[in-house]
Structure formats: C-alpha cells, structure tokens
Amino acid sequence: MEVIKTFIEGVVIIEPRLFKDGRGYFFESFNQKEFEEKVCKTTFVQDNESKSSYGVIRGLHFQKPPFAQSKLVRVVKGAVLDIAVDIRKSSLTFGQHVAVELTEDTHRQLFIPKGFAHGFSVLSEEVVFQYKCDNFYAPQCEGAIAWDDPDLGIDWKIPVHKVLLGEKDRKHPILKDVNLTFDFD
C-alpha cells in the first residue's frame, strides 16, 4: 500500500496495490502489520457499513474522549466526497479540513485520527460506505458540527437544493459554538 500524506498531520490517503486480470481484481484492503509500519499503531474494534443515495450528506460527526475514534474509511460501491475537519484545539490546523474523493474504482481509503469531525457526501446514484473504528460507539459521547458551517468553507460537491440530511444532521451547531472543553491524545 502507498500512503499519501495530506496537509493536515495524521490524515492520510491509502492507495492499495491492485492486481487485475481477466477475472477481475484483487487487493488487500487492510493489513495490521503494514498499517502500523506506515501509518500508526492502532487496533480497530468495530466495522460499520452504510448505504446511501445521491445527495445524502452524513456528518460532521465525532466522539468525545474517552470514546474518541480514529477511522479508516472506504467506498465499496459508488463515490463520495469524504471530509475530515480538524477539531483539536491545540492544532495549528484547527478548523481546517481535508476533502478526498473516494470511489469504487480507485479503492482509495482515508485514515482519520482522533480529534477530527468526519462526514461525507454521496456523489454517485448510490454508495456503499465502510469504515473501521478503533473505539466503540458511545452515544453519550457523540458530538457534531453543522455540515454547512460557513466558517469551514466546505464544498460538498452537491447543489444545496439536492442535499438530503437525516433529522439529527439538521440540528448541529457551528464549530465556534461547539463546546470543546476536552482535547484529543
């Protein structure tokens, strides 16, 4: 696997080695040893999958300590614009974001460490999205930021009149109104 650094420390794009022939393709989607050598030491404890249609925006979600999560995300079918927003108070890139298109054709993955809000917009007719988490989901530690926070300046690549949101994602505060009285390791 090739690891591509982004401008925000810790957020990396992972490009797998793809082996194609007349039968189709094969690639190793995760290898613990190689991941620890090239990215960081972590143990994933939960795998999640979602299915969504064009225009859906999920996010921007995070979990507060002690249940903060790092995530390794990828698309199995379709395409998304994946977003990671730095919410580490002490970070030089606080409030900035990385946006990466993940598709079934490239098989790229994005690693998002603890201390980031995460979300994605669905660019294809349908998407199947998978992610590994290094901590268990804890509803009492949920946090979120408004997807359309003007200070973040995120272009979700979806016309506003086509955006589809879940009930919870319609009500999140903007970053400057989020109570970040904690920091991430």
Q: Which residues are designated catalytic? A: 61, 131
CB 83 within 8 A of CB 154: yes
Radius of gyration of the chain (CA): 16
Q: Measured at the alpha carbon of residue 125, what is the angle toward residues 119 and 128, in degrees to the nearest 5? A: 55
94 contact partners, CB below 8 Å, separation of at least 6: 86, 87, 88
Q: Give the Cα separation of 126 and 106 in Å (integer).
A: 16
Q: Is the peptide bond before 150 cis (omega within 30 degrees of 0)?
A: no
Nearest to 72 by CA among 88, 95, 49: 49
Contacts of 170 (CB under 8 A, 6+ apart): none
- Report which residue type is found at 11: V
